[in-house]
Chains A and B, each alone.
Chain A
């Protein structure tokens, strides 16, 4: 018996049919968002595709191909691979951790010779997959039991601790918050969240002790940037100046004085939203937010008509990851949250995050294509 026949309780779509069913409007919006990135990278290079825009375009095309490939693969295959992928990601994190210990310093990636592999990025995807599978297989009654939460908490805690040790506070937050959001939509009792939130307060004080001095400084500077205008607060102050001076309509393409004259730091990576807001004003910023809103809104609405819990949780996990990237980055450049080094999704220069997000959207699109596939609680291959 062929594999497809054995795992499917639903009629199989042909590969060609799946390709047609792919939501090309969403793909188009994704291209739009990425194009905003290309334009801004062209701008911050003073009107040149080098050194950033060209590289970014190549990476995007690779990521886009990966996204479409993932979207076309049967969702049950992904469910089947969820735990193995998690195990692989976790072991890579361990490798990085050991290398970091030996190398006596911060280490976030494995050099494969042709590219740098960043396991923490993989882990964001793998954790969502693993948690989605875990909750998919949980019965309604078990979902309400406390002891059912031990395993998923461990699933979250292991990578969180490893990433925090790198140390990468931004990614740790993304992993933990993404995981908690999945608990929430999976139906874990509401009061648990309230109790946990209250318990967080003393935990935050405890966590403070673990922060590196530069991380502490970032938080302190965030609370009052003006106290250190030439040091750590400089980035936030200059970013706010750029944003504010952009006004409603902006200063024009390649006309942002703060970015073009280099007053703005990290303008091609973490602070690229500032460049958009400076050169295209409030209108530019709102336009980008709208594009993001379309992407995430589509995913959330679509997820409510998915006929399997795995797919639904997968979508929420990816949406939350995407949303947190976006929210933290934009809030950070506007001085609402500390500078934690989170890129703007699909826009900031950088390969790893872009790949993660496109792969994530690949899973969302895959869920959409296979939304009518129902999967038994025991699993596709049980």
Chain B
């Protein structure tokens, strides 16, 4: 070896050792960093890695059913057979759609929508092609899956109202969640999720909704689901059972199909509402996916107001049906007795105004029972003024007038149970004697809903129990507040009930012509006819224009409150027919038919039971 190389080697060895040391130092920095990341900070990064890959998918719960008292469904969730297409799984999107066209019609606009969506969203996300398929078509598509690359049959749920418009006003409807309805609950943000928008669907929404499940899935960086890691199934919403009797509801709705009505049928003892009918109605199924503007406009524009639940939201003068309460107020105050009479000559002077009885020529001398049966106006003008508005108001309140029962369906109206205080507040004018006279025949300021009239009727005939109406079987108040006695003498109640029975069953009763001819029981009630437009002096002189000659909107409202059987009252019914004409001619036959339907059915059941026991 040359000496110069010896020196060079010496220098080299020193420097190379230094360099190696430097490299090892740097390498140890790498090891230190690895230790820091993989040992010290491990849990933190593990969490971040999990957050990266795990995505929670909410599973929408099945919405609870709403059923009638016998378990018949009024609102239910049905399986919705749908077909989606996943563009990336097709060989050629158009070819697949063309093949699918052999099974279901795909319109040109649907085709455009799908192609547009396929260009906009990620190719592994499904695009809806069709929904609400029948089972046959759906299974056909499933069988032919090999020929339909990229087609994904899918089963979802949608809300179904099997009885369509039958109970739309009670049940309400569901619809897509709007911006204002978001509460932060992620369930509401699911694209297909529906919530209650009206009626019981809205009131009991949270109970019916159930609770969401979730599915933990592994996703890649693009958000594509790789596999499911775990799943917690959703808990379906609870089934709600109503006191409604769907058969009765159907019967009533059919009976008044062509009228504009509000009808309530209830059990006089426990307050269970057996039917609430408001006609005309609408099909809540139309609202599921958002109603079309055209349909909505036609519903809104209808003068018969199909969207309003007339049975609980409609406020009408009770008319002569209110005479029952006035009579009871007088009897309870001791102003008259059963025997006391008044004379009706068809005219009654209040101050400088003359009020008329509906019957030309008057009723002559009559007592309170006759006055009720024949619905004498003069008798009640005079009686009301004698009793005074305060006692009438107090008695009305005991019968639930002017009260909102909060039975748990939407938009229950309060009505007006007027007195001086109310008038001062509402109009700033003192109560006049003429106001009392008007209220005496159920006109003027007093206004009620058919529901209130049904409650009033129940309390009149059930022995003076302050029964409260209810529509839910599992009402939480149940058993806690037992309806109290109203503290009205049964003798006086019987007097009024006699008058109501005579309306149908006494030859002079206003609805005698429409009485029930059944042998097994009798039906009672009270007619009412309320003017929608004031009868002018000119009209009175020229002879009152017959209802049939008026525009529909100007005709009288027909009312009837009925109960049966008279011997042992079980059911109360209130019938309001908007612009229907006379209470006796239009409303009382309806009430009679409804009560006969119920009582006949009960009798048939009873006979069946007895017959069974005899054999």
Give a binary string over B258-274; 1 marks a CB under 8 Å from any A CB, 0 the rest: 00000000000000000
Interface string of B13-32 (1 = CB under 8 A from A): 10110111001001101110
Which listed residue, B19, B37, B42, B53, touches A334 by the CB 8 Å rule? B37
A139: B residues at CB distance < 8 A: 4
**Which residues of B from 8 to 52 have beta carbons under 8 Å from A?**
8-9, 11-13, 15-16, 18-20, 23, 26-27, 29-31, 33-35, 37-39, 41-42, 44-46, 48-50, 52
Contact of B30 among A181, A247, A262, A330 (CB under 8 A): A330
Binds B, one of A67-75, A303-311, A358-366: A303-311
A309 and B5: CB pair below 8 A?
Answer: yes
Distance, CA A228 to CA B37, complexed state (A):
20
Whether B16 pairs with A304 at a CB distance below 8 angstroms is yes
Q: Which residue of A lies closest to B3 (CB)?
A: A140
Selected interface stretch from A11-19, A33-41, A91-99, A277-285 = A277-285
A84 beta carbon closer than 8 Å to chain B: no
| Contact assessment for A262 and B45 in the assembled complex, using a CB-CB cutoff below 8 Å | no
Structural contact, B52 and A327, CB atoms closer than 8 A: no
B38 touches A187 (CB 8 A): no
CB–CB A240/B45 < 8 A: yes
Max count, chain A CB within 10 A of own CB: residue among B11, B19, B37 = B37
Q: A245 to B51, alpha carbons, bound, how many Å?
A: 12
B219 at the interface (CB under 8 A from A): yes
User: Do the beta carbons of B34 and A285 come within 8 Å of each other?
Assistant: yes
B2 at the interface (CB under 8 A from A): yes
Give the number of residues in A that approach B within 8 Å (Cβ atoms).
51
A331 contacts B by Cβ under 8 Å? yes
Chain A proximity of B18: nearest CB distance (Å): 8
Is B220 interfacial (CB 8 A cutoff)?
Answer: yes
For residue A372, which residue of chain B has the nearest CB? B1
Instruction: Give the chain B neighbours of A185 by CB distance below 8 A.
Output: 12, 15-16, 19
> What are 12 inter-chain pairs, A to B, with CB distance below 8 A?
A238-B52, A244-B46, A247-B38, A257-B218, A263-B49, A263-B52, A263-B221, A289-B27, A289-B31, A304-B13, A323-B26, A331-B29
- Determine if A312 and B12 form an interchain contact, defined as CB atoms under 8 angstroms apart: yes
The reply on B226 being an interface residue by CB < 8 A is yes
* A316 partner residues in chain B, CB cutoff 8 A: 16, 19
- A238 and B26 alpha carbons, distance in the complex (Å): 24
Residue from the set A245, A296, A303 with the largest chain B CB neighbour count within 10 Å: A245
Cβ-based interface call for B222 (8 A): yes
CB distance from A316 to the nearest CB of B (A): 6
Cα A282 to Cα B37 with chains together (Å):
9
Contact yes or no, B42 A327, CB < 8 A: no
Whether, in the assembled complex, B427 has its beta carbon less than 8 Å from a beta carbon of chain A, the answer is no
Known: A261-B219, A262-B220, A327-B30. Is A377-B42 also a contact (CB below 8 A)? Answer: no
Q: Contacts of B53 on A, CB cut-off 8 Å?
A: 257-258, 261, 263
Q: A239 CB to closest chain B CB, in angstroms?
A: 10
**Inter-chain contacts of A297 with B (CB < 8 A):** 20
Asked if residues B45 and A327 are in contact (CB atoms below 8 Å), the reply is no
Q: Which of B2, B11, B27 contacts A377 (CB 8 A)?
A: B2
Judge whether A243 is part of the interface by a CB distance below 8 angstroms: yes
Q: A181-B19, A247-B38 are in contact. Are A242 and B49 (CB under 8 A)?
A: yes
Q: How many A-B residue pairs have CB under 8 A?
A: 142
Question: CB-defined interface of A221-236 with B at 8 Å, one 1/0 digit per residue?
Answer: 0000000000000000
A262 contacts which chain B residues (CB < 8 A)? 220-222
Asked whether A248 is an interface residue with its Cβ less than 8 Å from the other chain, the reply is yes
Q: Does A286 contact B (CB under 8 A)?
A: yes
Q: B interface vs A, CB < 8 Å? A: 1-2, 4-5, 7-9, 11-13, 15-16, 18-20, 23, 26-27, 29-31, 33-35, 37-39, 41-42, 44-46, 48-50, 52-53, 218-222, 226
Contacts of B20 in A (CB 8 A): 297, 300
Which residue of chain A has the shortest Cβ distance to B8 in the bound complex? A309
A261 touching B38 in the complex, CB below 8 Å, given contacts A312-B16, A331-B33, A376-B2 = no
A307 to B8, CA, bound (A): 10
List A contacts of B218 (CB < 8 A): 257, 261
User: Is A293 at the interface (CB under 8 A from chain B)?
Assistant: yes
In angstroms, Cα B31 to Cα A309, docked, is 33
Instruction: Flag if B33 contacts A336 (CB, 8 Å).
Output: yes
Q: Give the residues in chain A near B5, CB-CB below 8 Å.
A: 307-309, 374
Which single member of B23, B37, B45, B220 contacts A261 (CB below 8 Å)?
Answer: B220
Given A258-B53, A300-B19, A334-B30, 16 more A-B residue pairs with CB atoms under 8 Å apart are A140-B4, A181-B19, A185-B16, A187-B15, A243-B38, A243-B45, A258-B52, A261-B53, A261-B219, A285-B34, A286-B31, A289-B30, A303-B12, A316-B16, A316-B19, A323-B23
Question: Are A243 and B37 interface neighbours, CB within 8 A?
Answer: yes
Which chain A residues lie closer than 8 Å to B220 at the CB level? 261-263
Given A261-B220, A263-B52, A244 contacting B4 (CB threshold 8 A) = no
Contact among A187, A241, A281, A330 with B49 in the assembled complex (CB-CB below 8 Å): A241
Task: State the Cβ distance, A301 to closest chain B Cβ, in Å.
Answer: 9
A202 to B54, CA, bound (A): 48
- Cβ contacts A334-354/B at 8 Å (1 or 0 each): 111000000000000000000
Contact A244 B44 (CB under 8 A): yes
Q: Which residues of A contact B1 (CB under 8 A)?
A: 307, 374
**CB of A184 closer than 8 Å to a CB of B:** yes
- Do A296 and B45 contact each other (CB < 8 Å), given the known contacts A139-B4, A262-B220, A282-B34? no
Residue of A187, A241, A320 with highest tally of chain B CB at under 10 A: A241
Cα A144 to Cα B12 in complex, Å, equals: 14
The residues of A with any CB-CB pair to B shorter than 8 Å are: 139-140, 181, 184-187, 238, 240-248, 257-258, 261-263, 277, 281-282, 285-286, 289, 293, 296-297, 300, 303-304, 307-309, 312-313, 316, 320, 323, 327, 330-331, 334-336, 374, 376-377
Residues on B with beta carbons closer than 8 Å to the beta carbon of A140:
4, 7-8, 11
What is the CB-to-nearest-CB distance from B25 to chain A, in angstroms, rounded to a whole number?
11
Residues of A within 8 A of B52 (CB): 238, 241, 257-258, 261, 263
Q: Which residues of A contact B11 (CB under 8 A)?
A: 140, 187
Nearest-Cβ distance from residue A135 to partner chain B, whole angstroms: 9
B24 (CB) vs chain A CBs: closest residue = A293
Using Cβ atoms and an 8 Å threshold, which residues of chain A touch B41? 244
Instruction: Please measure, in the bound complex, the distance between the C-alpha atom of A277 and the C-alpha atom of B220, giving whole angstroms.
Output: 20
Are A244 and B45 in contact, CB atoms less than 8 angstroms apart?
A: yes
CB-CB under 8 A from A336, the residues of chain B are 29-30, 33
**Does A248 lie within 8 Å of B8, measured CB to CB?**
no
Q: Please indicate the chain A residues that have their CB under 8 angstroms from the CB of B31 in the complex.
A: 286, 289
**Can you list the 4 inter-chain pairs with the closest CB atoms, starting with the nearest?**
A244-B45, A245-B49, A261-B220, A187-B11
Residues of the A chain whose Cβ atoms lie less than 8 Å from the Cβ of B13: 304
A115–B44 Cα distance when bound, in Å, is 45
Chain B residue, CB-CB nearest to A249: B38
Contacts of B34 in A (CB 8 A): 243, 277, 282, 285-286, 334
Set of chain A residues within 8 Å of B12, measured between Cβ atoms: 185-187, 303-304, 309, 312-313
Given contacts A185-B16, A187-B8, A309-B12, contact A281 B38 (CB under 8 A): yes
Q: How far is the CA of A244 from the CA of B36 in the complex (A)?
A: 8
> How many whole Å from B27's CB to the nearest CB in chain A?
7
Shortest Cβ distance from A75 into chain B, in angstroms? 14
The answer for the CA separation of A304 and B6 in the assembled complex, in Å, is 11
Tell whether, in the assembled complex, residue B49 and residue A334 are in contact, meaning their CB atoms are under 8 Å apart.
no
B39 touches A247 (CB 8 A): yes
CA distance A187 to B226 in the complex (A): 59
Residues of the B chain whose Cβ atoms lie less than 8 Å from the Cβ of A242: 45, 49
Residues of A within 8 A of B49 (CB): 241-242, 244-245, 257-258, 263
Give Cα A187–Cα B5 distance, bound, in whole angstroms: 12
B residues less than 8 Å from A296 (CB atoms): 23
Task: Looking at the assembled complex, report how far the CB atom of A189 sits from the nearest CB atom of chain B, in whole angstroms.
Answer: 11
* A286 proximity list for chain B (CB < 8 A): 31, 34
A248 near B16 (CB under 8 angstroms)?
no
Pair B2/A303 contact, Cβ less than 8 Å: no
Minimum C-beta distance from B219 to chain A (A): 7
Closest to B20 in A: A300
> Across the two chains, which residue of chain A brings its CB closest to B18?
A184
